[in-house]
Amino acid sequence: MCIRLRVLDIASQLFAERGCAETALIDVVRGSGVATATIYQHFGEKEAVFREVIFAHGDSYGLDHPSIEPDDTVFAALDRAGNYIYQVTYSDRSIGLMRLMIAEANRFPELVRSVVTSIFAHVSHNIEKVFECLEANDLIPASDHVRSAELFSNLVLSTHPILP
């Protein structure tokens, strides 16, 4: 594992367990086995390491984007898309990230806001692509795919009741 990933992995664990304020950079140094100077060279101060941890978690879920397979039905495609939304929202990694961001929201309000906005936009875009592919394959009629993605996400997550 490269130095950067090792540092981010240990820092993620420590920040999740203790929070940013209670995690010293020396703890990250000891846990990762990387010299302090190397961490400063790659990241800078502890707050910069924290930002990198948050963005690393928010940008990469390790999940494949939902896609349309050649013989898909609408149900099969939307089932995969729904599972994707669910995993992005409720996986252990996502819950850990949310806990960490909530704990540090007062210290880093703009960072938390930008990460949440970025994650939401990324997921919405991926779901919008599913609807575009369904239309391109003549499985659904043309419509406002941005709105369809929003409604579908709300349905999967039960965030807003869908009313006529």
- Give per-residue pLDDT as tens, 107-128: 888 888 888 888 888 889 999 9
164 or 14, which is more confident? 14
**What is the mean predicted confidence (pLDDT) over 74-93?**
90
d(CA 98, CA 112): 9
Coil, strand, or helix at residue 63?
coil
pTM of the model: 0.73
3-state SS class at 163: coil
3-58 has which fold? Arc Repressor Mutant, subunit A (1.10.10)
- The torsion of the CA quartet 148, 80, 8, 116, rounded to 10 degrees, works out to 20
- pLDDT reported for residue 90: 85
Domain-wise residue ranges, the chain: 3-58, 61-157
Cβ atoms of 66 and 126 within 8 Å: the answer is yes
- Whether the pLDDT of residue 104 is over 60: the answer is yes
Rounded Cα distance between 154 and 118, Å, is 17
